[in-house]
A and B are shown apart, each in its own frame.
Chain A
Amino acid sequence: MTDSLFSCLIENPLQCTVVVNNVEHQVPAQLSVAGALLYLGHRQVRQHSVSGEARAPFCHMGVCFECLVTINKGQQQRACLQQVMPNMRIDTVTKELTQ
């Protein structure tokens, strides 16, 4: 995780607590899960299951499946289609997990 390349233009947004890879963060409540990961400075959200290369959200509209993460320890799903929820557990995906 590094400095975020994105900023939120909404002043004093309502905050929401999420747990990303076991670390607790406060993020604006209106963010999608993919948006939250970018906001928190995650440059990559998964490792590609074939090549192991880093991948990140690409289309943000549910077409490309590049933003697959696990939410609340469930199945992998598209982070762009889900809104953050209080105490949501978000885990980015590594190659080993996919296989």
Chain B
Amino acid sequence: MNKIYDYLIIGAGPAGMAGAIEASKAALSVLVLDQASSAGGQIYRNLGQTKPQQAFVLGNDYLAGRPLLAEFMAANCDYKPQAQVWHIETHEQGFIVSALINGESTTYVASHLLLAHGAMERPMAIPGWHKPGVMTAGAGQILLKSSGLLPKEVILAGSGPLLLLLAQQYRAGGVTIKALLDTTPKANYWRALPWLVAGLTTPKQLIKGLWLTLAQRIKVPYITGVSDLQITGEHSACGVRYTVAGTVHNIACEVIMLHQGLISETQMGQLLGCSQRWSDVKQCWHTQVGAAGQTSVAKIQVAGDAGAVGGGYVAQLQGRIAGLTRAHNAGKIQTRQSKVRLIWLKLRVKQLNWAQGLAERLYQPAKWLSKPSGCTIVCRCEQVSAATITSIASAGCAGVNQLKGFTRAGMGPCQGRQCGLNMGYLVANAQNRPMSKVQPLSVRPPLSPISLGQLAKGTDW
């Protein structure tokens, strides 16, 4: 019989690390499973091994993760890197979590779960986004963090803080940024204004954000009001074509990085039956999470960007809240000091809430980006175009799950992560339904592909 852990945490980003630190301090038995080869999540990826040249380019916010990483590495918890969770099922003692580690499936049993697996980039389905040479801004940053690679020249396109941060880092690294094409709709600025005012409560963060925004506008060929963006080039990307104020422009470049914000990963929450909600402000589905990380399912908590995209610092606070709450509920700590600390942590999250509100409104994706059309590929894995999906949706297809059966869209190895949201938009558009009424793609195990051999070898039943 496997050991039964008190707390199994999925993800070793800021939320997962902080949750593990707090829970293990309270003498709970903790296991952390993480997909990456070293702890840190995407934000602090490879932080433990980073070289001085990388550190210079990546900047202080990246290096600020060092104390947390050190605290996590010293924590009395079990940590398995390169563990790809492919299934979680409920069990009389809690949960059975199956993960692929070194090509072998291993199962773990835990009484309680913390999902801290973070977010992914919102898929930006523009014509030609599947061509070699096009990648996401997150990919650009990961290449820099984990491999120390920089493109020689690049076009950055889309909207969102990560795009600006990457521009800043690429400038520091001497990359030629041929253009930063900003697709943020002008109306978003007005919508975001009240949240900017709310940001005056934490001026340090506000100034940092404003400086990041302004510096790129001054120092990079920065083009606003971009629409009808598409990738040019036949077999691989040769450049972009876009429209500003009715005029079409072309820029040549063989590396193009796209970004339009982050969306929470919901697949694990969905699989476990945690209730999901569509948010018109966030423009994505997300697991409903309470102030202490609790979900609609008992013994499952969510922390960090996996619940709502609030950035690394908030994720760390939420991870601590989740871990402390778990320890309190287990009766492991009951001191007044820890209760006060929990209240303080929750207040701090509330205080920083403005940044999330601001980012959600300011960087809400432009409407035209949620209406891919014609031969634009929506499902990259199965090569299904927007026109195919729209024609079937217009013929009265019941929803994205039926669309999957008709077109194979969402059936490939990415399990609908790259196409599910856009399939929903196309159904909603074709049938004139609100997104909240178009159910997301159902999630079934395996959460990531596993071969029959691996499956057979790993089972003990």
Interface residues of A (CB under 8 A from B): 5-11, 13, 28, 30-32, 35-36, 38-39, 43-44, 48, 50-51, 53-66, 68, 74-75, 80-81, 83
25 contacts between A and B (CB under 8 A): A5-B133, A5-B254, A8-B148, A9-B53, A9-B173, A13-B51, A30-B147, A39-B147, A43-B132, A43-B236, A51-B383, A53-B235, A54-B132, A56-B135, A57-B135, A57-B139, A58-B130, A58-B136, A59-B120, A59-B139, A60-B138, A61-B142, A63-B418, A64-B418, A66-B130
- Residues of chain A with a CB closer than 8 A to B136's CB: 58-60
Instruction: Report whether B120 and A61 are in contact in the complex, using a CB–CB cutoff of 8 Å.
Output: yes
* Chain B interface, >50% SS class: loop
Q: Is B146 an interface residue (CB 8 A)?
A: yes
**B449 CB to nearest A CB, Å:** 8
- Interface residue from A35, A50, A74 paired with B146 (Cβ < 8 Å): A35
Q: Is the CB of B381 closer than 8 A to any CB of chain A?
A: yes
Does B412 lie at the interface of the complex (its beta carbon under 8 Å from any beta carbon of A)?
yes
Give the residues in chain A near B432, CB-CB below 8 Å. none
Which B residues have a C-beta under 8 Å from some C-beta of A? 35-37, 42, 49, 51, 53-54, 57, 82, 84, 103, 120-121, 130-136, 138-139, 142-144, 146-153, 173, 235-236, 254-255, 380-383, 412-414, 417-418, 448-449, 451
| Pair count A-B, CB < 8 A | 132
Interface majority SS (helix, strand, loop, mixed), chain A: loop
Q: Which chain A residues border B49 with CB–CB below 8 Å?
A: 30
A8, B149: Cβ atoms under 8 Å?
yes
Q: Closest approach, in angstroms, between the C-beta of B324 and any C-beta of chain A?
A: 29
Query: Bound complex: CA of A48 vs CA of B382, how far in Å?
Result: 9
**Contact B139–A61 (Cβ < 8 Å):** yes
Is there an interface contact between B54 and A10, defined as CB atoms closer than 8 Å? Answer: yes
Q: Is the CB of B35 within 8 A of A35?
A: no
* B149 lies within 8 A of A81 (CB): no
Known A9-B144, A53-B130, A63-B417; 17 more pairs at CB < 8 Å: A6-B149, A10-B148, A13-B148, A30-B148, A32-B147, A43-B133, A48-B383, A50-B383, A55-B130, A56-B135, A58-B134, A58-B380, A62-B448, A64-B414, A64-B418, A74-B103, A81-B82
- With a cutoff of 8 Å between Cβ atoms, the chain B residues found around residue A58 in the complex are 130, 134-136, 139, 380
Give which listed residue, A56, A64, A75, contacts B132 with CB less than 8 A: A56
Contacts of A9 in B (CB 8 A): 53-54, 57, 144, 148-150, 173
Q: Please, which residues of chain B bring their CB within 8 A of the CB of A6?
A: 143, 149-152, 255
